[in-house]
Amino acid sequence: MKYFVMLGDGMADRPVPELAGKTPLEAANKPTMDYISENGEQGTTNTLFVGMPTGSDIANLCVFGYDPKKYYTGRSPIEALGLGIPLCGDDTVFRLNLVSISCEEENFEDKKMLDHSSDKITNEEAYELLDALREEFGTEKRKFYRGVSYRHIMIWSGIDYGYTMMPPHDILGQTIGEYLPGGKYGAEVLSMMRRSYDLLMSHPVNSDRMSRGLRPANCLWLWGEGTKPNLSSFPEKYGVSGAVITAVPLISGIANGIGLKYYEVDGATGDYYTNYKGKADACIRAFSDGADFVFCHVEAPDECGHDGDAELKVKSIEKIDEEILSVVKKHLDGLGEEYRILLLPDHPTPIEARTHVIAPVPYVIYGSGFDKKSGMTYTEGNAKKSGCEIPLAYDIMQRFIFG
């Protein structure tokens, strides 16, 4: 048996006025998603929970079959694992975003969060800015590590940071003063953020970006703090060897933590302009290399949701359908052996909210052993209408693998 998971990050949504009151899933031309939905089990599941962070870390741990109440120790340590960064027991790991905040206000607290990704800053530009931050703020106990685009890591050893910090994508357009760090080390973190604004605003990289009409990456923003996780083995838990395809360190970090092989794809960016074909090719290569289980993660719909771009979100769903799901399904059809496909988002990222929200997501399980046919296309409303429900998403992998 072969198992394929197609996860469109943030793919679920609410009705959007500019899409004539349809959700992006309802508006998209997605024949393969609709086919497996009509001929498989469609239903809803819950990946996010009140009282826990509403992030892809929690949601994807659930999809892989891990109860976040038991295994979650913070988002950033998982991302660090994805970047191959060694962690010690006394490390506190932070996600470091290079963000764009407004320039007009004199007081730092009065500035607004404009863009959590600094116009999808390139790796080359980001690395120059990170080097400047490392030179200014790095110490023997405080280390900076390169990630991808706007996403990076800071590790601060020997501290006990017990304050929850705000994800920047949750406060787009809002004044940052209400969301600045507190707690025992909050004053030191805030001092770094203030100083980073002056340092980065005057950096040649940002001068060049502004001359080209791009937003400056003018502030470091720390969040997602946590400590080294202790995740159990996926192959031992489910009895299958596996691989993960993603552009996002968070997901490759989960893969590394649970014993799945990570396949890197050239040109995979974590946004709409990612290498969809390359991801499909990597999925097929993983199956050809002997993997029983392949998990393909595409960040594009989530980024479009954060950007409030309904048209591009529809197109990202269509690209996932045409360039990945249909291609991998055709390959599995040609193998001459039984297989199953699990299709779902990790959480909703509604266009109107521009951030993650707690709401059920639509799932489909298609293939051998799942003979029930929903007869309905793949949408949020049809999933709810089906009456099928897996209340806790960390149970969905058990159902997918063992039926």
Two structure tokens written together for 230: 């202790």
Q: What is the pLDDT of residues 294-333, one digit of tens each?
A: 999 999 999 999 999 999 999 999 999 999 999 999 999 9
Mean per-residue pLDDT, 10-16 = 98
Q: Residue 335, Cβ neighbours under 10 Å: how many?
A: 11
139 burial type by CB count under 10 A (0-12 exposed, 13-18 middle, 19+ buried): exposed
Determine the pLDDT at residue 184: 83
Mean per-residue pLDDT, 8-34 = 98
Determine the pLDDT at residue 279: 98
Determine the pLDDT at residue 161: 78
Mean per-residue pLDDT, 157-182 = 91
Task: Output 16-22 pairs: Cβ under 8 A, ≥24 positions apart.
Answer: 16/310, 16/351, 16/352, 18/310, 18/311, 19/310, 19/314
Q: What is the pLDDT of residues 63-76, one digit of tens each?
A: 999 999 999 998 99
Which amino acid makes up residue 403?
G
Domain coordinates in residue numbering, the chain: 2-71+230-402, 91-226
Two structure tokens written together for 124: 């080359």
> Is residue 163 predicted with pLDDT exceeding 80?
no
Q: Residue 51, Cβ neighbours under 10 Å: how many?
A: 5
Determine the pLDDT at residue 144: 98
H or E stretch at 362: strand 361-367
Cα 122-208-97 angle, rounded to 5 deg: 40
Q: How far apart are CA 280 and CA 2, in angstroms?
A: 15
> Is residue 378 predicted with pLDDT exceeding 90?
yes
> Is residue 162 predicted with pLDDT exceeding 80?
no
DSSP string, 293-324: EEEEEE-HHHHHHHHT-HHHHHHHHHHIIIII
Q: What is the pLDDT of residues 91-149, one digit of tens each?
A: 999 999 999 999 999 999 999 999 999 999 999 999 999 999 999 999 999 999 999 99
Q: What is the pLDDT of residues 249-275, one digit of tens each?
A: 999 999 999 999 999 999 999 999 999
CATH for 2-71+230-402 (3.20.20.70, 3.40.50.1220, 3.40.720.10, 3.40.50.300): 3.40.720.10
Mean per-residue pLDDT, 189-215 = 97
> Is residue 370 predicted with pLDDT exceeding 80?
yes
* Helix (H/G/I), strand (E/B), else coil: 348: strand
Count, residues in the chain: 403
Counts for the chain of helices (H) and strands (E), in that order: 16, 13
> Is residue 182 predicted with pLDDT exceeding 90?
no
Rounded to the nearest angstrom, the gap between the alpha carbon of residue 62 and the centroid of all alpha carbons in its chain is: 13
What's the chain's average pLDDT? Answer: 96
